[in-house]
């Protein structure tokens, strides 16, 4: 067996087929230019996916990181309101139950698992903007 045939055989063993159990999801960057997505989601993802030097420059110019809230349905349970705090290079986002947190996440989930995006924290009494 030649080295190329051996390498090809090894790669075929590790190739994941399209009918695997792992669901595919869109990378968070794919939502940034999608006009069908809410503006609050697109602006949050755009800011979070900027390189760090651009975020530092924006901060010095007084541009704050956008605030984003969403509904998250974990498995088959009840939908819960969460705050989105980060967007990863891997394509997922970080969410937390702490509405005041600006960083630090409890879970990392694909954007597809979230809905009802808003800059508003919805409470039992009404809605209030957290800016």
How do residues 44-82 score in pLDDT, each as one tens digit? 999 999 998 998 999 899 999 999 999 998 777 788 999
111 contacts: CB under 8 Å, gap ≥ 6 = 25, 26, 28, 31, 41, 92, 93
* Within a domain: 8: no
What is the average pLDDT across 117-126?
Answer: 70
* Within a domain: 1: no
A 10 A CB-CB count for 117 gives 20
Count of domains forming the chain? 1
The answer to whether residue 120 scores a pLDDT higher than 80 is: yes
- The pairs formed by 122-129 with CB atoms below 8 angstroms and a separation of 24 or more are 122/69, 122/81
Predicted local confidence at residue 78, as pLDDT: 85
* Within a domain: 7: no
* Within a domain: 97: yes
* Within a domain: 62: yes
Residue-number span of the structural domain to which 104 is assigned: 25-129
* Within a domain: 73: yes
* Within a domain: 68: yes
* Within a domain: 18: no
Predicted local confidence at residue 92, as pLDDT: 94
The answer to whether residue 15 scores a pLDDT higher than 90 is: no
């Amino acid at each position: 067996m030649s080295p190329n045939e051996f390498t090809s055989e090894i790669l075929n063993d590790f190739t994941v087929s399209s009918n695997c159990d792992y669901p595919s999801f869109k990378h968070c960057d794919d939502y940034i230019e999608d006009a069908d997505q809410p503006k609050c989601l697109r602006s949050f993802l755009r800011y979070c996916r900027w390189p760090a030097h651009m975020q530092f420059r924006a901060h010095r110019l007084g541009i704050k990181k956008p605030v984003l809230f969403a509904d998250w349905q974990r498995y088959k349970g009840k939908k819960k309101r969460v705050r989105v705090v980060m967007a990863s290079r891997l394509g997922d986002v970080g969410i937390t139950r702490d509405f005041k947190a600006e960083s630090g996440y409890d879970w990392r989930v694909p954007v597809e698992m979230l809905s009802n995006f808003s800059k508003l924290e919805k409470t039992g009494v009404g809605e209030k903007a957290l800016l």
